[in-house]
Amino acid sequence: MEGTTVLHCADLHFDDEANRLKNTIECCDRIIGTARAEMPDLIAIAGDVFERGLILGSPGTLAAIDFVYRCGDVAPVVIVSGTPTHDITNSTEVFSKLKTRYPVYATGLPRQVCLAGKEPRRFIEFDGRTDMLDDTSLLIYCLPSVTKASLMAAGTRSMGTAGVEYAELLRDLFQTWGVANESGVDDAALRRIAYEKGPLA
């Protein structure tokens, strides 16, 4: 079986400051050039897409959207949020709304997603059911920077509750990881990728 090719990038830090944005766009143009030359199976963007969060209509945000859009025309794209000081809560999820040739999936929480092997190509959140793996070409373990503070910003009422929710998210993630690994699915047919944005805080 041939290997899986992943184009991985992180810490793009799209910003509205003109010189920094110019440098970021030039760097991203090279990334797109590499992607078009290599034609990866997946493009993984591991957080800190933004420097100061999402500001709709700003030059930095428009450039980030353009970059992800161009990535989605080359291969399926998975984006995990970075640190909350850069990728504020829900700021990367906007990319999942882009209509591109290949699907784009973005998350700010730990998730496992299946990439369907047949048309239409799409990402499906893995819920532990092994029958989901039958049509899966790739199982991706997404581990963004999740902090108690980001859970609180997403609606948790207290630090204590945030800690419990954080622990439950990780428990669920690792339990389904075990289900997928013990599913009896032919390992040669199901490729797995795990990636994260830095240490879990």
Q: What CA–CA distances, in Å, run from 87 to 39, 184, 195? A: 27, 37, 17
Residue reference for tokens 């973005």 = 106
pTM summary value:
0.77
What CATH superfamily is the domain 6-196? Answer: Metallo-dependent phosphatases (3.60.21.10)
Residue 130 region by backbone torsions, left for phi larger than 0, else alpha for psi between -120 and 50, else beta: alpha
pLDDT of 177 above 50: yes
Rg (CA), the chain: 17
- Report whether 112 contacts 49 (CB < 8 A): no
Residue 195: count of CB within 10 angstroms of its CB:
19
- Tell me how far apart the alpha carbons of residues 140 and 96 are, in angstroms, rounded to a whole number: 16
Sign of the dihedral defined by the CA atoms of residues 73, 20, 46, 37, in that order: positive
Q: Give the domain ranges of the chain.
A: 6-196
> What is the C-alpha end-to-end distance of the chain, expressed in Å?
37
When the pLDDT of each residue in the chain is averaged and rounded to a whole number, the result is 79
pLDDT the model gives residue 201: 35
What are 66-111's pLDDT values in tens digits? 999 999 999 999 998 888 778 787 888 889 999 999 999 998 877 8
- Tell me how far apart the alpha carbons of residues 123 and 97 are, in angstroms, rounded to a whole number: 13
Residue reference for tokens 């969060």 = 53
pLDDT of 120 above 60: yes
Q: What CA–CA distances, in Å, run from 184 to 38, 65, 98, 190? A: 32, 39, 35, 10
Question: Higher confidence at residue 105 or residue 193?
Answer: 105
